Each structure stands twice: as C-alpha cells, then as structure tokens.
Structure 1
Amino acid sequence: MEITRYFEDIEIGESRTTFGRTITETDFVTHAGHTGDFFPHHMDAVFMADSEFGQRIAHGTMVFAIGIGLTATVINPVAFSYGYDRLRFVRPVFIGDTIRTRVTAARKEDDPKRADHGRLFEKVEVLNQDDRTVLACEHIYIIQKRGAA
C-alpha cells in the first residue's frame, strides 16, 4: 500500500501496532546462518538449560530485524529511513514467543541538511505476547515537506 504523507501531516503521539509474529526454531537457525552468530546462548539448549533463562534466547539482531520488518506495510514515497538510535534489548525472546511492534511519533524537527525536509523521530517498542517490551529503539525518518513537492 502506498500513502503519501508529508512532514506536516504527521502528528506527534500518533501510533500504530503491527500484527504478531511467532518466533520459531527455524528463525534461530536461519538468523545464525545469515550472521554467523552461533553463540551457545542462541543455539545450544543444553548450555542454556542451567542459565538464568532456562532456555535459548533469540538473537537481539533477529528480534530487531523481525520487529522492524513487521512495520514495513505502508510505503510513503516522500519519506526514507535515516537510521536507528538508542537500541536496547530489554527482555529475552524465546522460541514460541509472539512479538509485535508499536511505533509512535515522538518528535519532529527540521532536517539540518535538507531545508525542504524534516526529521521524524519514532519511538519503537517490540512487545511480546504479554505486552512486555522486549526491544526499544528510536527510528529516524527523513520526510519531505509539503511545500517542496
């Protein structure tokens, strides 16, 4: 779906929440293969059985990738991602957990590099099935201003 929303159209506090996605063992194996991260925390059930978690924990980078991917449902042709700040892995994610992502417009400012654009800072929260935050970060968008169109 494509929806054109200019910088001025975004209201601070507006929020959206994605559908859920259940994390599987296949996700663990695929992510380890993609990244080369075969640490026992993610791949060795026996090693983790005696840990404080009692089981394997998901790669933080996998939770980030899936959580952000869940938000990619609308294309705004006048906006693009500038990156992510303040990334934190707040709680572990386990095989069988279902995550979803809530994105909230937190603040806006003029873009110091592009007079015809602004920056939108979104609060991103990846939540588990118990509505507990497992990952938090800030997403920065560059969005064209209406007068520049």
Structure 2
Amino acid sequence: MIVEKYLEDYVIGETHLTTGRTITEADIIMHAGQTGDWYPHHVDADWCATQPFKQRIAHGTLVFSVGIGMAASVINPRSMSYGYDRLRFIRPTFIGDTIRVRTTYKELREHKKPGYGMLVELVEVLNQRDEVVLACEHLHLVERRNEGRPA
C-alpha cells in the first residue's frame, strides 16, 4: 500500500501492530547460511539441550530483519529509512515462537537536510506472550510539507 505522509502528518504516540509470523527451524538455518553465523546457540540442538535455555535460539539479527520486514507494510514516497539506533535483544526467540511487531511514533526531530525532518519510531518485537524480545528505534528521514517550519 502507498500512503503519502509528510513530517507534519505524523502523530506522536500513534501505534501500529502487525499480524503474527512463526519463526521456524528453516528460518534459522537459512539465516545461518546467509550470514555465516553457525554459532551453536542457533544450530546445534544437542549442545543447546545442555545449556540454560535447553533449546536453540533464533539469531537476534534474524528476529530484527523479520520484524522490520513485517513492520514495512506501507510505502511512503515522502520518507526513507535513515537507520536504526538503540537495538537491543531483550529475550530469546525460539523455534515455534510467533512474533508480532508494535511500532510507535516516538519523536520528531530537526534534520540538517533542507526540507526534511526526522521521525523516530519505536519498534518492539513481541512474542506470543506479548513479551518484548527486541526493541530499537527506527529513524526515518521525512519530507516536510512546508520547508523551513520546525517539527
């Protein structure tokens, strides 16, 4: 879906929640192959059985990339991703966990690029128990409707 929103159209505190997606063993193996991260916590079930969690843990970068993809359901031609800050892996995600993503418009900031401002969006990945497993801030460079006016 394409929705044109200028910086002035964003409402601080507005929240969105995605539908769920279950993390599978195939997701973990494919991610390990793509990244080269074959750390035993992710791929060695026998070894993991001897560890505190007793099972394999999805890569934090897998949960991050799937979560960000899930949250990217709207295309705004007036906005582009500027990056991510404060990324934290808070709880493990296991094979069979179903994640959802909650995004909240957190802050509007000035930006040095003329005609643009910065939207800071809090991204929280939740498991099926509504526990936050990952959190970060997604920074969006967003075009202003009225250049020169502060956010």
1:21 aligns with 2:21: yes
Q: Which residue of 2 aligns with 1:47?
A: 47
List aligned pairs for 1:1-149, cutoff 5 A. 1-111=1-111, 113-148=112-147
* Runs of at least 4 residues off by over 3 Å: none
Counterpart CA distance in 1 for 2:116 and 2:11 is 16
CA shift for structure 1 position 147: 2.1
Percent identity (aligned): 56
Counterpart CA distance in 2 for 1:11 and 1:58 is 34
**Structure 2 regions of 5+ residues with no counterpart?**
none
Instruction: Give the aligned length.
Output: 147
**Structure 1 regions of 5+ residues with no counterpart?**
none
Counterpart CA distance in 2 for 1:11 and 1:114 is 21
CA shift for structure 1 position 72: 1.3
Counterpart CA distance in 2 for 1:52 and 1:89 is 17
CA shift for structure 1 position 34: 0.3
CA shift for structure 1 position 115: 2.4
Q: Secondary structure at the match of 1:4?
A: coil
Q: Secondary structure at the match of 1:28?
A: helix
